Chains A and B, each alone.
Chain A
Amino acid sequence: MTNDLDIFVGNTTLIDEEVYQLWLDGYSVSEAVSQRLRAGALEQPGAGPGAGPGAVLHSDTLDHYRTCHMLERLLHAPPKLAHQLLFQIPPERQAGLIQRYYAFDEPFVRELLGKKLSKGTKKDLDDVSAKTGITLKSCRRQFDNFKRVFKAVEELRGPLVDNIQQHFLLPDRLARDYAAIVFFANSRFETGKKKLQYLSFRDFAACAQHLIQHWTLGAVDSHVDDMDVDLDKEFLQELKELKVLVADKDLLDQHKSLVCTALRGKISVYNEMETNFKNLSRGLVNIACKLTHAKDLRDFFVDLVEKFIEPCKADRWPPSDMRLFLTQYTGSAHALDAFRHQALWDRYMNTVTACLLQMYHD
């Protein structure tokens, strides 16, 4: 005797947290059932004696999967969940469902960061799946989430994080992460190079947050489209003016001596710093000057690593020394009489400093 039809519908929609997670993780019903069996679901109270092994679980799992499946449509537009009439779900449960639906695996997103959220990328997800050990189904869901959020906020006015929160009802931290993902996808920063492999999603997310805060249009004017997604073109153009700091020999020497005076005896890698100062400074300023070129903009993080982090790592700078150096390096420029782009310099260096500090680890 087989059950052709087997359903359970509660007035309050019942969603088992555990099954929901298995579903999100992309397991098939039978995989989920065996996982639950292993987890000892049947030993829980309520399973009762002699419950046919698996049969009860199978029916229960199928049921939840169906519910999840029906819910998925609503989860694509979370505000609908609060207004829809089909499922009666207490608000705090709704929030939980949304949050978990939009939660992502960091190893997965790390792979995708900076890539175009296109069909082509989606097709390659099986490689990502194989690499990360995350099921293809789950990869696709996460990819679609990124793309959906991207599409939804791409044309909107106002702060990116707020927009994401408003349209997807995500908690603050998750919304910030999505902002980072959107930002990376839009600017297509290179993150896949071998040199960058040591950086985690968290590192990039933190950098993205700094960039969004200080380098986008939104940093100066909060009433333009795409204000948080696109970098401030004018600002990037102006950055060329900083060239003078390395092009003018006097200025460079003056800058160096100011920094050296300030740091003497305060950092352990003083000598290395002194020898390398010109290289480092040239590196940072050159990065700034090239940001108008799309290709160089994309390589922003690669350049930071190549031009600054790697040399420092080679000399074993402790992070605290790097912090001191960058502070002094930025501050001393104000004392250069011939240098007139103080505001521009600060806007550039403050963000770069924050990124470098975030990225400077093993």
Chain B
Amino acid sequence: MPGKLKVKIVAGRHLPVMDRASDLTDAFVEVKFGNTTFKTDVYPKSLNPQWNSEWFKFEVDDEELQDEPLQITVLDHDTYSANDAIGKVYIDIDPLLYSEAATVISGWFPIYDTIHGIRGEINVVVKVDLFNDLNRFRQSSCGVKFFCTTSIPKCYRAVVIHGFVEELVVNEDPEYQWIDRIRTPRASNEARQRLISLMSGELQRKIGLKVLEMRGNAVVGYLQCFDLEGESGLVVRAIGTACTLDKLSSTSAFLPACNSPSKEMKEIPFNEDPNPNTHSSGPSTPLKNQTYSFSPSKSYSRQSSSSDTDLSLTPKTGMGSGSAGKEGGPFKALLRQQTQSALEQREFPFFTLTSFPPGFLVHVGGVVSARSVKLLDRIHNPDEPETRDAWWAEIRQEIKSHAKALGCHAVVGYSESTSICEEVCILSASGTAAVLNPRFLQDGTMEGCLDQRLSWQPGFFSIGSEKGEVDFFPQSQDSSSLLGIEETSPAGCGFCHIPYDELNMPFPAHLTYCYNCRKQKVPDVLFTTIDLPVEAMVIGKGCLIQARLCRLKKKAQAEANATVISNLLPFMEYEVHTQLMNKLKLRGMNALFGLRIQISVGENMLVGLASATGVYLTALPTPGGIQIAGKTPNDGTYEQHISHMQKKINDTIAKNKEIYEINPPEIPEEIIGSPIPEPRQRSKLLRSQSESSDEVTELDLSHGKKDAFVLEIDDTDAMEDVHSLLTDAPPPPGFYSCNTEIMPGINNWTPEIQMFTSVRVSRLSNITLTNQMLNKNFNDLCENLLKSLYFKLRSMIPCCLCHVNFTVALPEDELIQVAVTAVAITFDKNQALQTSKVPAEKSLQRASTDNEEQLQFPLELCSDPLASQPFSPAKEVLESASSHTGIPAAQRVASLDKASPLAEGHARHRSVPCSTNSTVTVVKMTPLSFIPGAKITKYLGIINMFFIRETTSLREEGGVSGFLHAFIAEVFAMVRAHVAALGGNAVVSYIMKQCVFMENPNKNQAQCLVNVSGDAVIFVRESELEMVPVQSSTVISQPTSAGGDVTT
């Protein structure tokens, strides 16, 4: 009996009137956990009852604690008839099960009814007393922390990143059970909500067990999804990345026991590693002030530790040593071997993370994806979900082999999704093939990872020695080769270098020497599913790029249907890819990050929607333009038309370059060494799709021998394509958008954020639609949606829409549903302007200045977790002290630039008003992993909620829009209430994973299912931090960064 759950019902307020006669309510509460139920007394005749109950105690084992939600039902007592339910609250008590999260859940929760929505609030206090249980064979996994965030959470460092964990559980869907015919919609909805809650708990527990087996203590990038398979059941599946995390505040406690003098130093670099990526390019907060925060002497004193960044990030060594790209070969092989050994034990070397500690990512191969069309059948034995497991295993195997073909052993930024229509299901998986630095991957004991650390330690110190610091060259024999390779991959471009063998390329690609280091080969275009690495050097700003596509499909049944879909898929992928490539060129950019391709299936069509953030990587060649070629020569008017189009395209490219400030430096040929060849389009997207028959087909997405920048206009279709290329309007002035965490090229965020969800359902008017019509409609739908967003948020200008996440669904014939969740973040315009001018020259100087900059921005020893807020990248650059990697930061200066000191005053006044007199805690929500201008001081646990809302009076509730508007607002409210009850003031990495909307206007009915998740956190405004006295190790370096942030 390892746990005691204690619940107290305090009071209710704003209850609905349940007794028409008295206009009052006689409310009481049932508290249920597992099979035990307690009741409060009836509080008669009040809409604001004060129950002040005793503590209800449930003695349960921890397995149950993990699986079961606490269920609180508020009822109206009725002497003569059955008691009427007012509504329910489900509380996930998981956050109370590990020590570092919340200790108590206490607060006002909306009382939710699936038919009426929110009906008043109830004040509840929940506590858990856990007893130690040393049983090795336990089925629970209490204590394993879960994070939705797809990077190492801010106040932790990764000791080991173990790798992929996955699990799925299946059950019958209550909505399809026979009993559903005789029970009320409310009962059915509640059964579903409860079941899913239970299944999520079970799933999480099972994943936790796997993590414990791997000797990890946390799951990062946890993504849980539901597949509503209808008749055939309900699948809840989850993937994540198992890690061993250390809380940064307690760093010292985790120092390994061995006493070597070097130990501490080794330790330190680690601390800083975890966070950085999120920062990638856009240092969020105003860079400005931070510079002041440290005195030169301070920085000097930290010098020794500052060398800590890992070698791959220190280009200068590479430059000096003259290790040419060619020498990279053997090293590469060695490195591969090493990594392989680290990854070998793992069935699937996948990582759901999208941003990584610096140095983790050695090379990126490109996007790998796999799709498979399956026919759903009833799941006969829910306890043995083998079919579903097998399906996913198959797909993952495929992904793995694609990655291998790209010369990579790992897949990062990995995600899985499904699209279901009737009995056909498309399973999709995608990720980015990559070569990883094995040091984070070591399994096993502390000893092991210590060794690992030692092995790369030398790198640091050799750098240090150049600076006249400690010369320390310890026991790194086996990994010296590793170091070698790392040295040759300078930060900022190393990840772009091809991981595959030049002579044995997996697909026709065009390679050039890296425009940054000139030592290694790079592709001409790079597609990835991850966030822009921190160290990446970028010119100008990024932008959201979408490819949109509809394809009609014949209605068919079962197997025939699956075949039709399978046949269509390759064409869709090809076209999506072509669109992306063309749009990328049109913007004068050469790389895509955060690529997410969604293909949804409906009754009579397929829809493809790809979103990504385009950027210009300095390491990659400048993209060529787009040439249009006509097929019918000698026709004067036709050629005139063609040349007109060509001009339009060229103009658009020029305009885009201006908008996104892409002005790469002209590089004289000699420097490059090899001629810059005519760019050719090439695909890094390796995909395949397998049909139910499991047959795997590979599709070469490159345009064969054709010169791929040439668009041939040989028919009206092609003409349409060109037109559609040009219809994407750039965001209005003052707006930027991206689907990654932060916007490359913007680094002076101000703290105003606005997270929103927007949903549109469009009816395609006539049935005799053509593909072109569909495409146009779908394209308009997305474009208009974006326009509306810009208009709505105009008061926030200048601002950037970050993490713009589109999902598309085909709920019925002729209906397309698009849902967007994103966050608008304001930034300081003046600084931005400043910034933009610098990068070009900067990047040229970069190599030479690196050294100095390094010296100027030493790292702080105990870099603090807080400082490493994602948003601070910019600061770090300058002031850097704080967190991670001084060196990459320094380099980043190149692209980001340092506008700082100037703009100091600007952001200062923008602060978000904080509420004082309201009893309701203001809870920020954001899909990002950080909050601009603030530090996350604590993670309180994962929020994972599932709601169903149904109405039988659709018209009265304002039609479908009114119904869904209210529901989404209610979902936000319930998420906020749960976070506030945990003691938090924000949700980060918020995501709406599902929004299934069904309507039946004839019956005046509608139903919607929503699944959301995120991490509840406590954040502190940096400006407030300043006032907090330094108390703990966590805070040590705060003054620095805090100082910097005054502005917020």
A contact set with B: CB distance below 8 Å: 1-14, 44-52, 55-57, 59-60, 62-63, 66-67, 69-70, 80, 82-88, 90-92, 94
Contact = CB atoms under 8 A, between A and B. Distances in A.
B755 A44 contact: no
Contacts of A91: 913, 915-918
Contacts of A92: 913
Contact of A2 (B762, B791, B966, B972): B762
B780 interface: yes
Nearest to A17: B795
6 contacts: A8-B789, A9-B965, A14-B754, A70-B966, A80-B14, A85-B973
A3 B917 contact: no
Contact of A86 (B758, B761, B970): B970
A4 B764 contact: no
Given A46-B732, A46-B794, A6 B961 contact: yes
Nearest to A90: B913
Given A2-B765, A86-B118, A48 B757 contact: no
Contacts of A88: 920, 922-923, 972-973, 976
Nearest to A85: B973
Given A11-B754, A45-B732, A80-B14, A1 B791 contact: no
A11 B793 CA distance: 13
B817 to A, nearest CB: 8
B761 A9 contact: no
A85 B122 CA distance: 11
Nearest to B752: A12
A57 B977 CA distance: 32
Contacts of A52: 784, 787
Given A5-B817, A83-B13, 6 more contacts: A2-B762, A3-B762, A11-B754, A46-B732, A86-B118, A91-B913
Interface-central residue, B757, B780, B916, B972, by most chain A CB under 10 Å: B972
A66 B961 contact: yes
Nearest to B963: A5
Given A9-B972, A85-B110, A47 B788 contact: no
Given A60-B791, A83-B14, A8 B758 contact: yes
Interface string B881-917: 0000000000000000000000000000000110111
Contacts of B181: none
B989 to A, nearest CB: 14
Interface-central residue, A10, A55, A66, A69, by most chain B CB under 10 Å: A10
A59 B794 contact: no
B792 interface: yes
B763 interface: yes
B968 A9 contact: yes
B960 interface: yes
B121 interface: yes
Given A4-B762, A9-B969, A66 B962 contact: yes
B787 A62 contact: no
B788 A60 contact: yes
Contacts of B916: 91
A50 B815 CA distance: 25
Closest 4 pairs (CB-CB, A-B) = A46-B794, A48-B732, A5-B761, A10-B756
Contacts of B924: 11
A1 B815 CA distance: 10
B997 to A, nearest CB: 7
B760 A6 contact: yes
A238 to B, nearest CB: 41
Interface of B: 13-14, 108, 110, 118, 121, 729, 731-735, 754-765, 777, 780-781, 784, 787-795, 797, 815, 817, 912-913, 915-920, 922-925, 958, 960-962, 964-966, 968-970, 972-974, 976-977, 997
Contacts of A67: 965
A7 B731 contact: no
Contact of B960 (A1, A2, A5, A63): A5
A9 B756 contact: yes
Given A9-B969, A91-B915, A48 B762 contact: no
Interface-central residue, A9, A63, A83, by most chain B CB under 10 Å: A9
B976 A82 contact: no
Nearest to B778: A1
A1 B762 contact: yes
Contacts of A62: 961
Contacts of A83: 13-14, 121, 918-920
A34 B260 CA distance: 77
B787 A48 contact: yes
Interface-central residue, A9, A55, A85, A92, by most chain B CB under 10 Å: A85
Nearest to B919: A83
A48 B14 contact: no
Contact of B797 (A2, A46, A55, A60): A46
B833 to A, nearest CB: 16
Contacts of B790: 46-48
B962 A11 contact: no
A147 B734 CA distance: 46
A9 B761 CA distance: 15
Contacts of B758: 7-9
Given A4-B761, A56-B787, A11 B968 contact: no
A85 B920 contact: yes
A85 B793 CA distance: 23
Contact of B781 (A1, A60, A80): A1
A10 B924 CA distance: 11
Nearest to B755: A11
A7 B968 contact: yes
A5 B970 CA distance: 18
A8 B977 contact: no
Contacts of B787: 48, 51-52, 56
A22 to B, nearest CB: 16
